[in-house]
Every structure is written in C-alpha cells, then in structure tokens.
Amino acid sequence: MLAAATTTLLVLCVGLVAWGAVGPGPGSSPEDRPVVPAAAPLRLVVPSLDIDASVVPIGLTGDAVLDPPADATTVGWWDDSARPGAARGQVVITGHTVHTGGGALDEVSTTSGLRGRRIDVRTRAGVQHYRVLRREVLSREEVAAGAQGLFGQDRRDDRGARLVLVTCTDWNGSSYESNVVIIAEPA
C-alpha cells in the first residue's frame, strides 16, 4: 500500500515538474530574462488582461494594408518590423478585436488606463518584457498620416526596439471606426 502511494506521488511530482519546465503559462516571472537576443516572436502575453495568444508572421498587402491573421485568437507580427530584443526599429503586432467576443485583443480594445502594464513577448531566445507607455485611439486617417512614426523601422532608442500593439475599437454597429495603438518600451 505504501509502495502504491509512493509510486503515485512520484509520478505526480515528475509530471508536475515537467509541466512547470515546458509549460509557457501566463505566470512566467518578469525576471526570466530581462534582455534577450533579437528573435521572431512566438507568443504574446498580457497578464493583467488575461491575454495569451500565439504569434504568427504576417506581411503587407500591395496597398500597404496589414491584415491580422484570419484566426482571430492569434495575433500577427509584421515580418518587416523589428524582432523583439532588437536595438532599433519597432516591433509591430496586431490582432483582431471581435465584436461578439473571442478576439485575441478584445481586452485591449475596451480597456483604458493601461499605462505601466506589463506585456511579455516570448521568442525562441527567451521572453522580452515591455511596459506600456501609452494607449492611443486613432482614426483610419490619423493612422495613415502617422504611419511612418507609428510603424517606421528607422527609429532608434537607447532601450531598444519598442512594441507597437494594434487592434480596433469604436464599434459603430456595423464596423470598427478606429484603431487602438499600444506603445510599450522594453522593460
């Protein structure tokens, strides 16, 4: 009987340890790796908004439109933008907000006062942490006019490439009228 209990506990311990080692989980410590080499993003985590979405590379269409992945539960990383951990440029990630719910960035669309919140981007090289500097709501025209500043890759900062997270907001009953843009700097 004792041997059976011991075996059960042993298997449980080994399994839980393995789970902790390989599971990404939103509970990853910010002290994981404060500085990581530049690498393509794999996962986006916003602990305070319970966001945990996989990241896939996406490109621009011919008319300079950046379409998020069709799968609304994933987010897209513009593959011409900086990789997390890079010294220059901007990491541009976008994801859908779905009016009926279930979009990867629904909470970003509806939550104001995000300044100071933590955002983690996991790559093959580790976790790059960011802190939100500001949240802006911009019309389509304002996004087009300020595109170079928002998404340009010639930007240099002592702290490294910042994160620009984009989704939609201002549901008018039939479509979204604005973009919400989160600017975050490496933490």
Answer yes or no whether residue 5 interacts with other proteins by CB under 8 A.
yes
User: Shortest gap between Cβ of 31 and other proteins (angstroms)?
Assistant: 22
CA distance 158 to 43: 25
Q: Which residue from 17, 57, 60, 134 is in contact with other proteins, where contact means CB under 8 A?
A: 60
Site string for other proteins, 146-175 (x = CB under 8 A): -xx-xxxxx-x---------xxxx-x--xx
Answer yes or no whether residue 176 interacts with other proteins by CB under 8 A.
yes
DSSP letter for 141, please: H
Residue closer to other proteins by CB (options 116, 148) is: 148
Residue closer to other proteins by CB (options 68, 84) is: 68
Of 111, 149, 118, the residue nearest 133 (C-alpha): 118
Residue closer to other proteins by CB (options 31, 154) is: 154
Tokens of 90: 């901007």
Q: Which residue from 40, 137, 143, 183 is in contact with other proteins, where contact means CB under 8 A?
A: 143
Residue closer to other proteins by CB (options 20, 116) is: 20
Q: Kindly identify the residues of this chain, within the stretch 82-111, that bind other proteins according to CB under 8 A.
A: 86-88, 92, 94-103, 105, 109
Q: Which pairs with CB-CB distance under 8 Å and at least 24 residues apart come from 152-159?
A: 152/90, 153/80, 153/81, 153/82, 153/88, 153/89, 153/90, 154/88, 154/89, 155/88, 155/89, 155/90, 156/87, 156/88, 157/88, 157/185, 159/185, 159/186
Answer yes or no whether residue 17 interacts with other proteins by CB under 8 A.
no
DSSP letter for 27, please: T
In this chain, which stretch among 28-36, 42-50, 112-120, 129-137 interacts with other proteins, using CB under 8 A?
Answer: 42-50
